[in-house]
Structure 1
Amino acid sequence: MKNFKNVLFVALFLITATVLGQTKISGIIVDETNQPLPGASILEKGTKNGTETNFDGKFTLEAKSKSGVLVISYIGYKSREVAFNSSSANVGTLKLRVDENSLEEVVIIGKGVIDLSGGRTTPVAVSTIKAAEIQKKIGTQDVTMALVNTPSIYVSGQAGGFGDSRISVRGFDQTNTAFLLNGQPINGMEDGRMYWSNWSGVNDIASAVQIQRGLGASKLAISSVGGTMNFVTKTTDKEEGGSFYVGTANDSYIKTTAMYNTGVSKSGWGTSVMLSHWQGNGYNNGTRGQGQTYFISFGYKPNENHNFNFLITGAPQWHDQNFTKRISDYLTNGYKFNNNYGFYQGEYLSERRNFYHKPVINLNWDYQISDASSLSTVVYASFGRGGGTGNYGRSAARIRTADGLIDYDAIFANNSAKPNGEGTFGNNAYATRASMNLHSWYGVVSNFEHKINDNLTWNIGADLRTYYGTHFRQISNFHGLTSWTEDRRLRDGSNLTTGNPISNTVTETGKADPWVATFNTMAENQRIDYDNSERISYAGLFTQLEYANDFMSAFFQGSVSNQSHQRFDRYDYLPEFKDSPKVSNAGYNLKFGASFKVTDASTIYMNTGYYSRQPYHDNIFNNFTNAINPSSQNEKIFGLELGYNFKSEFFSGSVNLYSTSWKDRINGFTNVANNVVTITETTGQSQLHKGIEFDFVANITSQLKLKGFASIGDWKYVGELISRQLDENRNVISEAAPVNVDGINVGDAAQTSYGLGIDYTIIENLSVDSDFRFYDRLFSNVSPTRGELQLPSYGLLDMGVSYRLNLGKSNSKSLDFRANVNNVLDRRYISELTTANQATSGATLYRGINVTNNGFFGWGRTWNASVRYNF
């Protein structure tokens, strides 16, 4: 009996010692965009004791000892080691870096306002493209091309020139997708447009681009219809290092980039600097371009509770432009045909040049108030300066050569013969004008988050902006003239012209250069054609409440906003009437969603929302006068989404169904035929967009990754609308009776698309990749009152190869080589049409399309190659 008690005592002692020696470790594993990594491996170093993260990236591990090191790994990501002990059993949220990403670890700041989908438990339809992918595949293309291998995304307009692409999401154009840069809204406040030439530097400074299709996860008081795109820029880097980059491509393109990071010092300070220069002749004739990118970021973390980051970035650029033309013109003159340029005394000269510089400054402050509360704020400003050139004067004065180019030698000779060198509309003179667009934009976005308990989180915040824009025209080149004179009659408060005409003569020119435009503004007495400004102010409040446990989540989100508009016209109005009445519109949105965990790897979810969105400024003052459009009203948007997500270590995929109803829309379709611009404006327009989306990533082996997507949309106009024709200056040419457009397909984006991609690692540090995508049911971008015209379907194949040469034993230095061939098969295809002329009897056809239609052919085969030295 005594021996039995001794044995029992020893056994109890050993069990107690074992239990007391163990430590229960917990944490969450996410990627750089805060999205959970299910199936990540957690191993106690030096043992075989380990576990995996669940669907939400969470893990719990009974460690064998009171202190030690965890080794965290996930396929496609760099492994990470984290120390633990009994006093810090919760290691918190840990980020893993993508293995192929050559950039150093990025500190994501402003996390409370950036609104990445990982910041909310309830899922949305989302695709995230990391810096490594952008750097590998963009080459000479706009950053929009980084999204072409995602569902329901269509990119067009590349043939217009550097930075002239456009993006559609679920069939809605980019005026109806919200674009954010580190939490700062960057859509144009006048019309919602995005000009990618102003953001050419995003390719260099982005750490990730995330597109949230549909209702999205944004807490801001914004009402996006198609979706929300978040650009998360690099900020102050944790580690010292840098890189040099040189790239070249077809059509004499070359780009150089230099970056250096000081790392974060012991006192919490750090700096990152990037400078870049690019230039090229453009794929199409007469689309040359040149630009720079600068990025300077200062970070300061005085303690664990505060994190500050100040950055300034800009991408001054100029690029010459191509306009849509008849298919017959391309067939006669070649697929790269462009007649917007010519030669003067043997030197190249373009009539259509876009030039702009938009410095962006923002200050982010993240404040961890307590374990349960945090505040994130971004204060920002931007100052856009630049414009676009074009012809000015009578069309007869625009002389062309026999091959259709602009004959500047003949124009100069014609202008030199004018009495006293004076140009007017009446004496058939010609000048190049620049339509200038200047703005100053200031704002603040702030979000307070409080964890009420382990399951309930509350957010509340504000979005405040004020914008002042100025628009006028100036002479860019006299071409042999010494002055330009024109007459105008001024309007009174009733918008009626009154009094005798006023003569205005200008003698100064402004160079079409972004740096010149940044620091020089034309005097008011040297402006022509028009000179007006507007003040737009916006104030929004938003809130969100989310409940989440291990099995389900649900959220409610709401916002209210007020937007005011006022126009000031210095050119067409008597001084006492130059200020328009102020117009204010209130708007709101409501969103609700819920998700349910079916298994540890799969989740189903539902989101719904209703928006009452204020009209844009250009829809309120829609005829270039101070007259207020009586048809302007809030647009109504209702969205419903159902989705299913599956995530495991080897496979992840999602299926999304959506329906978006959009009512009381005002829209404008621009058509350029023979260099004459006309605008079709429609009011009372309603649309219904429905569809299904699918995407997946499969890690077949450690060397082979397969990814794919598919989207099938059904996008229709609903009911009837009224349309009218406007000229380039928005003067009404004609107005039509109401037209029934019910059932007509929405154009400008492929309603059916699918793609498949392969990444294969041949040997360590050498990999190849290929992407194929197919587009069908693409219709002309015209007013529905003109009917519809379906374009031929097409498929494109891209291929690339990457190789890393490590330098030194530590692998801290390397040479990264990359080469791409886009449209490998040199497929000729029509990427967009801006008319809908049908294939009538006797008409000449190209692949079933009447050759009198205007549009763009897509790019043929292109290539680019680069080398990056990392240190």
Structure 2
Amino acid sequence: MRKIKWIFFFMFISIYVQAQIETDTTQKVEKGNSGSESITVISIAELDGDEESADISGILQSSRDVFVSKAAYTFGPARFRIRGYDSENSSVMMNGVSLNDMESGRVYWSSWGGLNDALRNSEILNGITESQFSYGGIGGATNMEVRASSYSPTVKLTVSSLNRSYNQRLMFTYATGLMQNGWAITFSGSKRWAQEGYVEGSSYDAYAYFLSVEKKLNNKHSIGFIGYGAPSKRGKSSAVVQEAYDLAGTNYYNPNWGYQNGEIRNARVSNYHKPMFMLSHYWTIDDDTKLTTTASYMFGRGGGTALNWFSGNDPRPDYYKNLPSLYEDTNPDYAQYLRDDWANNVNRRQLNWDEFYQANADEYSVIENANGIEGNTYSGIRSNFMVEDRRNDSKKLNLTSTFNSRISDDVKLTAGVDLTNYKGDRYTVVDDLLGGEFYLDINKFVDRDFADPSMAQNDLNNPNRIVKEGDIFGYHYTANINKYMGWGQLSFEKPKDSYLSSRTRDEVVKDLTNEKIFSLDGNYVMNYPGFKLRLSAYYTLLMDRTWNRSFYDESLREFVSFTMTGLDQRNMGIEFGIEKEILTGLKINAVAAIGEYIYNSRAESVTTLDNIRKPLREQTVYLKNYYIGGMPQTALSAGMNYRTPFFMFIGFDINYFDRNYLPLNPDRRTEDAVAGIAPTHPDYDKVLDQERLPSAFTLDANIGKSWRIDYKYYININLSVSNILNNQDLVTGGYEQYRFTGSDIDKFGNKYYYMYGTTYYLNLSFRF
């Protein structure tokens, strides 16, 4: 039998080849950083709303690790990321099947949001450690066990009320356990909804479904089927400049919505549904050896809508030309008019949908040589304003096999193979012409700045292409990825940002280099009855990273792609967690995360324009010793909870966050950015400095009670309240705008997100 075990192991050793990984984001000219605070786009925590973080914390709180289980809940509202890692540095799996996105490597928890009860059986590994289900990553690994026979027999109904991204939730779960006939069935479903969430204009409509069926064939073999999905539509909010928050009179101002025929309509609505189906074979070779093989298929649509327009000023209310600060010096009377209009006119501070319809109605146009056909004339109402749907559809076929064996009391053998074929489809669709009859498929930025009309054509095969609702336009490309992975082998990864502009050109970054990761991780753990402790230290270098963003460049007056290569970062710090039962039922706890996450090198950048092959400029980006922004690098929490003998609990936490820096615009850390500004001028530091956000303090509490009736029925009620002090001035994140001008750095100010004020989550569940 031992020979068979080693044969299985060596069968699983192969080469690991995978495409795509993404990272977040002078001369001042590399500020010193010796632990001082002299200096200082968006992670998963910055997904609109907090429902994703709620699902994450629900899973991570099941961890037996004292730090992870505590930090998952208390640090979530501050957009905290464990060790400063992005989600692509962690592995998340379901029944051994990877759920990380094939293109970005990231984890999109909303793909199975609302399935809290079905996904509670999870094994969570923090940092670098051995795993029975995955090769793992520097950020750890999570495997959600969804085998039908692993669930205890139960029927559970949960009703929830809250005032966060959604207001109501219904959840139902039914599990038979393994029955005498060898069958096991588990079903779970939920609905979450809000006509308007905590932020004005942010609607929410989400469903979720889960089915796991297993048949035990004999004592050694079982087969199982798992299927799940979580269709959702959400009206999103956005970060805005502080001036817009102040003008609107609230730090939860949302510029994405407006009134249409008296009803709220949001221009940015995400619409996702990517279900997955799995067929598994479970083979118990002997008491110490198991082999699990799963074939899976994932497919579906992703994307979100956005307002688009061809000519004229940006219609969004928080656009810099719609704010009074631009006119304070040149036209103070008009600036005052704008302030008054912001305060009193909802159509000034929100989108004016009725105005878009009226503007389109006046745009009767005649298009010569339409659709590339000489002499073909097309006439009608041409939409100047429209809503587009930016799609990200995908299909993934996967075969995974995991082999686990206990060789002796002290030695465990784990191996596996992971074969994946993936196709990602990226394109834009005309969603709503807003009363118009057609839209012309040309690049509005190029059309404005180049005399040659052919350069503005998005489709060279069909110039002057007429598109209508449901038609694809702008860009359309496909990402084809094959992954062949055998555990225990050196890995090779091709960066996601390999292309200068994947939307418009088949051209890779010059001198592309493999990303390299070096990480050390040390832990001291104590687990005794009534006492838990973990102290960890880590040091990680991520080298030769590639970074790519597209934005409007104010100096070039063009929509450009900005790509950096040779970017290094260093993440180091300590984690501490302790829990002590000081009296029967009374526990105190404390957790601390103190890190330093910085860029560890300069980078080289290239700026390209969609319709010109030659790069517009190449330059050095002086990022060394700047902070990696987007999350607090210091997070502390202390709390107490008490469980009474009559099945009641109460607890509270005091939390503190500090050293949170805004994510950088790298273009502001170049010699061109400060050209013409004297080093002694205040604007010199203004361009180069990185904003450190104020420290934050919050107080949370929770209380709950359960009843057991006739030893058969259980009723549970619990209430959690976050930010009890209702502090609505806590900035949790944001970013420097990529659009800026050195002559007036305040013209395009930083944009911010604020932590919600007091929020509650009330759950009532019935179980039998």
Q: TM-score, structure 2 length as denominator?
A: 0.74
Alpha-carbon displacement from aligned partner over 1:626-676 (angstroms, at most 9, x marks no partner): 2222343211111112221111112111111111111101124688999x9
What corresponds to 1:830 in structure 2? 731
Alpha-carbon displacement from aligned partner over 1:715-749 (angstroms, at most 9, x marks no partner): 22212112355789999996452234332222212
Report how far residue 459 of structure 1 moved. 2.5
Alpha-carbon displacement from aligned partner over 1:770-790 (angstroms, at most 9, x marks no partner): 222211111111145355221
Q: Secondary structure of 2:354's match?
A: helix
Identity of aligned pairs, percent? Answer: 23
Query: In 2, Cα distance between the equivalents of 1:498 and 1:858?
Result: 43
Query: In 1, Cα distance between the equivalents of 2:147 and 2:404?
Result: 24
Whether the aligned pair in 2 keeps the contact of 1:421 and 1:480 (CA below 8 Å) is no
1:329 aligns with 2:231: no
2:229 to 314, 336, 360: 314
1:528 aligns with 2:473: yes
What corresponds to 2:531 in structure 1? 651
Alpha-carbon displacement from aligned partner over 1:832-854 (angstroms, at most 9, x marks no partner): 130189xxxxx999xxxx99321
1:807 to 702, 709, 715: 709
What corresponds to 1:574 in structure 2? none
What corresponds to 1:416 in structure 2? 361
Q: Secondary structure of 1:143's match?
A: helix
1:192 to 92, 105, 123: 105
Structure 2 stretches of 5 or more lacking a match?
1-11, 13-49, 318-345, 368-377, 447-456, 670-687, 739-743
Q: Secondary structure of 1:267's match?
A: coil
1:243 to 156, 171, 174: 156
Report how far residue 757 of structure 1 moved. 2.7
Alpha-carbon displacement from aligned partner over 1:390-423 (angstroms, at most 9, x marks no partner): 1222252764664321111111111122227999
Count of residues in Structure 1 that have an aligned counterpart in Structure 2: 631
Alignment of 1:439-478 (within 5 A): 439-478=394-433
After superposing the two structures, state which structure 1 stretch, 450-459 or 298-307, moved more. 450-459
1:292 aligns with 2:185: no
2:258 counterpart letter in structure 1: G
Whether the aligned pair in 1 keeps the contact of 2:459 and 2:465 (CA below 8 Å) is no
Alpha-carbon displacement from aligned partner over 1:139-178 (angstroms, at most 9, x marks no partner): 895323445994696899999xxxxx97633112223333
Alpha-carbon displacement from aligned partner over 1:53-90 (angstroms, at most 9, x marks no partner): xxxxxxxxxxxxxxxxxxxxxxxxxxxxxxxxxxxxxx
Q: Secondary structure of 1:170's match?
A: helix
Q: Secondary structure of 1:206's match?
A: coil
Query: In 2, Cα distance between the equivalents of 1:230 and 1:729?
Result: 45
What corresponds to 2:189 in structure 1? 275
1:248 counterpart letter in structure 2: S
Whether the aligned pair in 2 keeps the contact of 1:398 and 1:430 (CA below 8 Å) is no
Alignment of 1:77-476 (within 5 A): 142-146=54-58, 150=67, 168-209=81-122, 211-218=124-131, 224-233=137-146, 235-236=148-149, 239-250=152-163, 253-280=167-194, 281-333=196-248, 334-394=250-310, 396=312, 399=315, 402-419=347-364, 429-476=384-431
2:95 counterpart letter in structure 1: N
Cα pair distance change 1:421/1:355, threshold 3 Å: farther
Query: In 1, Cα distance between the equivalents of 2:752 and 2:724?
Result: 23
Alpha-carbon displacement from aligned partner over 1:489-534 (angstroms, at most 9, x marks no partner): 9xxxxxx99978623222333xxxxxxxxxxxxxxxx211112212
Alpha-carbon displacement from aligned partner over 1:742-778 (angstroms, at most 9, x marks no partner): 3222221211111123221244111112222211111
Q: Secondary structure of 1:742's match?
A: coil
Q: Which of the pair has the greater relative contact order for Cα pairs under 8 Å at 6+ separation?
A: 2
1:654 counterpart letter in structure 2: R
Query: In 1, Cα distance between the equivalents of 2:737 and 2:283?
Result: 55
Whether the aligned pair in 1 keeps the contact of 2:235 and 2:268 (CA below 8 Å) is yes
Cα pair distance change 1:761/1:344, threshold 3 Å: same
Query: In 1, Cα distance between the equivalents of 2:273 and 2:238?
Result: 22
Query: In 2, Cα distance between the equivalents of 1:862 and 1:312?
Result: 33
After superposing the two structures, state which structure 1 stretch, 741-750 or 396-405, moved more. 396-405
Alpha-carbon displacement from aligned partner over 1:178-222 (angstroms, at most 9, x marks no partner): 322332222221122333332323434221455534324346775
Q: Looking at CA atoms only, which structure, 1 or 2, has the larger radius of gyration?
A: 1
What corresponds to 1:794 in structure 2? 696
Query: In 2, Cα distance between the equivalents of 1:306 and 1:190?
Result: 35
Cα pair distance change 1:150/1:337, threshold 3 Å: farther
After superposing the two structures, state which structure 1 stretch, 728-737 or 211-220, moved more. 728-737
Q: TM-score, structure 1 length as denominator?
A: 0.66
Query: In 1, Cα distance between the equivalents of 2:752 and 2:612?
Result: 22
Report how far residue 248 of structure 1 moved. 1.1
Query: In 2, Cα distance between the equivalents of 1:451 and 1:218?
Result: 13
What corresponds to 2:635 in structure 1? 753
Name the structure with the higher strand share: 1
Cα pair distance change 1:140/1:391, threshold 3 Å: closer
Whether the aligned pair in 1 keeps the contact of 2:516 and 2:544 (CA below 8 Å) is yes
Cα pair distance change 1:205/1:787, threshold 3 Å: farther
2:760 to 831, 855, 863: 863
What corresponds to 2:600 in structure 1? 718
Query: In 2, Cα distance between the equivalents of 1:623 and 1:663?
Result: 26
1:630 to 510, 526, 532: 510
Q: Secondary structure of 2:247's match?
A: helix
Cα pair distance change 1:829/1:694, threshold 3 Å: same
Q: Secondary structure of 2:355's match?
A: helix
Whether the aligned pair in 2 keeps the contact of 1:211 and 1:230 (CA below 8 Å) is yes
Cα pair distance change 1:666/1:337, threshold 3 Å: same
Structure 1 stretches of 5 or more lacking a match?
1-112, 114-137, 160-164, 490-495, 510-525, 543-557, 562-586, 588-612, 838-842
Cα pair distance change 1:347/1:156, threshold 3 Å: farther
Query: In 2, Cα distance between the equivalents of 1:246 and 1:380?
Result: 32
Cα pair distance change 1:459/1:178, threshold 3 Å: closer
Name the structure with the higher helix share: 2
Query: In 2, Cα distance between the equivalents of 1:290 and 1:656?
Result: 40
Cα pair distance change 1:628/1:725, threshold 3 Å: closer
Query: In 2, Cα distance between the equivalents of 1:444 and 1:203?
Result: 26
Report how far residue 307 of structure 1 moved. 3.3
Whether the aligned pair in 2 keeps the contact of 1:309 and 1:363 (CA below 8 Å) is yes
Q: Secondary structure of 1:778's match?
A: strand
Query: In 2, Cα distance between the equivalents of 1:534 and 1:247?
Result: 40
1:798 counterpart letter in structure 2: D
Query: In 1, Cα distance between the equivalents of 2:542 and 2:689?
Result: 20
Q: Secondary structure of 1:865's match?
A: strand
1:508 to 452, 461, 469: 469
Query: In 1, Cα distance between the equivalents of 2:552 and 2:209?
Result: 35
Q: Secondary structure of 1:540's match?
A: strand
Report how far residue 428 of structure 1 moved. 6.7
Report how far residue 703 of structure 1 moved. 1.2
